[in-house]
A and B are shown apart, each in its own frame.
Chain A
């Protein structure tokens, strides 16, 4: 078997397991591993992963403005989010499952343990999924999520964000992240966002695009995602 391993996780791009800052992401203190990671040579266990295709998603899965409707339209600003999933070598990643979840326009999750005193929208569920096409492109419609308070420190608010989960071509390329919106004043105050090394933070902020914006319907945002790419030198087994 000839298989090409993936480049390592780039720790100058990802937040550390335990936030070292006194005013950082508090709940990482007792949850992040503190011993060094043990490096392993990638085997077939890491170089394979679940396989998806366009039949993996239902008709309404990629339209969060419709998949939670009961008696009307969800409230809030309609958005369309699109972009490409690429690897570090710039290669498009086709057939990648993307799962998304988010708060409603008022900043309230439908999740049963969300205690925030903002209204539930009976016509908005906030979860969906899509699969990238042959050029690595994905697209879904939703409602712009609101900011919400959380308990990290006094008067802490999460910036507007959409949670993303991607598989990529292998278990090694798995990524869970969050997409943010341009110009949000809460970004500078958010310890989850600023836990990312400074040079990498802007990669999580989507661009507004008038070209993607749909006339009379939804504001357009572009968010490209880069997964680990294969090393250039193949490994012989």
Chain B
């Protein structure tokens, strides 16, 4: 190893106009936002909603969430995915928690397919926040994929009593399948974060 990694630092409280400008009403185009699909994207259109909670259960209104996912056929928009990909689905989403009255993040996307043999559908997620000196990796799995979840190689490395923290519950109240994924940074129900 010739070189040493550059240290991480917190995203701070003022990331919005640099990283999520359109969402917060600033005059700069956004690289990614909460709309991950468009109307014509193939697959099941879904919504993902959640909050970030601190060690006392308070909502965090200056966090930023990024998601990275495969398309409905399980393909990533990246040259290392040998199966090729759907050119109009990048699979990247980014949302701050500071514009919703309840400090939720929200992604409109498609349900990902299985990205590899034996792998349950999932979405990779990174949490950034003021007060978080290094970013934290986790994954969203889906409550309505119980059979696939049971054999997923990553979930099976998670202690059984903590697996629930990675599984988004489903409601259909808003007309589109909506998965709720609250992220607990600390506490009894602390979300599982990965050493990726």
Which residues of A are at the interface with B, using a C-beta cutoff of 8 A? Answer: 1, 3, 7-10, 13-17, 19, 25, 27-35, 37-51, 56, 58, 67, 86-90, 97, 99-101, 103, 109-114, 125-129, 163, 165, 171-172, 174-178, 192-193, 195-197, 200-201, 203-204, 225-229, 237
User: What 0/1 readout, one digit per residue, does chain B (130-150) give for beta carbons within 8 Å of chain A?
Assistant: 111111110100000000000
Q: A19-B133, A38-B192 are in contact. Are A51 and B8 (CB under 8 A)?
A: no
State in angstroms the CA–CA spacing of A19 and B80 once bound together.
37
State in angstroms the CA–CA spacing of A15 and B5 once bound together.
12
Please name all residues of chain B whose beta carbon is closer than 8 Å to the beta carbon of A10 when the two chains form the complex.
4-5
State in angstroms the CA–CA spacing of A142 and B113 once bound together.
43
Minimum CB–CB distance for A57 against chain B, Å:
9
Minimum CB–CB distance for A192 against chain B, Å:
6
B-side binding surface: helix, strand, loop or mixed?
loop
Closest to B190 in A: A35
Please name all residues of chain A whose beta carbon is closer than 8 Å to the beta carbon of B70 when the two chains form the complex.
45
Binds A, one of B21-29, B40-48, B101-109: B21-29
Neighbour of A28 across the interface among B131, B190, B193, CB < 8 A: B131
Q: Is the CB of A88 within 8 A of B5?
A: yes
B185 sits at the interface (CB 8 A): yes
Bin the interface of chain B by size: 35 or more
Minimum CB–CB distance for A67 against chain B, Å:
8
Which residues of B are at the interface with A, using a C-beta cutoff of 8 A? Answer: 1-19, 21, 24, 26-29, 31-32, 54-56, 58, 60, 62, 66, 68, 70, 76-82, 90-92, 98, 115-116, 119, 122, 124, 126, 128-137, 139, 153-154, 157-158, 162, 185-186, 190-196
Minimum CB–CB distance for B131 against chain A, Å:
3
State in angstroms the CA–CA spacing of A179 and B10 once bound together.
12
Q: Is the CB of A31 within 8 A of B129?
A: yes
Which of A39, A44, A114 counts the most B-chain CB atoms under 10 A from its CB? A44
> 26 A-B Cβ contacts within 8 A?
A9-B134, A10-B5, A15-B8, A15-B9, A27-B130, A33-B185, A34-B186, A35-B162, A40-B195, A43-B119, A45-B70, A48-B76, A48-B81, A50-B78, A50-B92, A56-B31, A89-B2, A100-B18, A126-B18, A127-B21, A163-B9, A175-B8, A176-B9, A176-B10, A200-B4, A200-B7
Please name all residues of chain A whose beta carbon is closer than 8 Å to the beta carbon of B128 when the two chains form the complex.
176
